[in-house]
């Protein structure tokens, strides 16, 4: 009876390891695809005669940050140049108050902690998926470019 229990536990642990490996492979493939796209866009810019400091990548996402049926008036807006430098502006709008935040982005990363919505809008801008994106696009996002913790 003990051997059967140990065998079943081993099978369960093996399946969990397989699932973890497949999940890590999917996330790695997604990261590689995004890097290839960013490099492709960067090479297009370097071959072009435009000013590399000019804002060229823009994306905005609207959402209901306070979960109070405010009509999705909150938003995050990323405005970046070809090097991924720029700013992400976020406005959290409720019925009675509004808060606005500006965070500096350098090479596609912020020194300050980004919310999931801010991180997604920066990634979408870097990948040229703007100007308007939706939060329910199925992307598995993390915070500050790091994948989300496994659940």
* pLDDT class of 76 with cuts at 50, 70, 90: very high
What DSSP letter does each residue of the chain carry, written as one string?
A: -HHHHHHHHHHHHHHHHHHHHHHHHHHHHHHHHHHHHHHHHHHHHHHS-S-TTS--EEEEEEE-TTSS---S-EEEEEEE-TTS-EEEEEEEE-SS-EEEEEEEEETTEESSPPPHHHHHHHHHHHTT--SEE-TTS-----BTTBPPPP-
pTM over 0.85: no
In this predicted model, which residue has the larger pLDDT, 45 or 92?
92
């Amino acid at each position: 009876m003990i051997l059967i229990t140990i065998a079943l536990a081993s099978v369960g642990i093996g399946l969990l390891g397989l699932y973890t490996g497949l999940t890590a492979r999917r996330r790695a493939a997604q990261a590689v695809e995004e890097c290839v796209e960013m490099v492709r866009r960067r090479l297009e810019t370097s071959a072009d005669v435009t000013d590399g400091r000019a804002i060229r990548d823009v994306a905005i996402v609207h959402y209901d940050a306070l979960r109070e049926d405010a009509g999705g008036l909150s938003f995050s807006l990323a405005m970046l140049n070809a090097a991924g430098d720029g700013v992400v502006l976020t406005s959290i709008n409720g019925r009675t108050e509004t808060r606005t935040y500006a965070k500096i982005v350098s090479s596609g990363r912020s020194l300050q902690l980004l919310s999931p919505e801010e991180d997604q809008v920066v990634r979408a801008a870097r990948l040229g998926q703007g100007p308007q994106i939706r939060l329910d696009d199925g992307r598995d996002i993390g915070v500050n470019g790091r994948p989300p913790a496994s659940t």
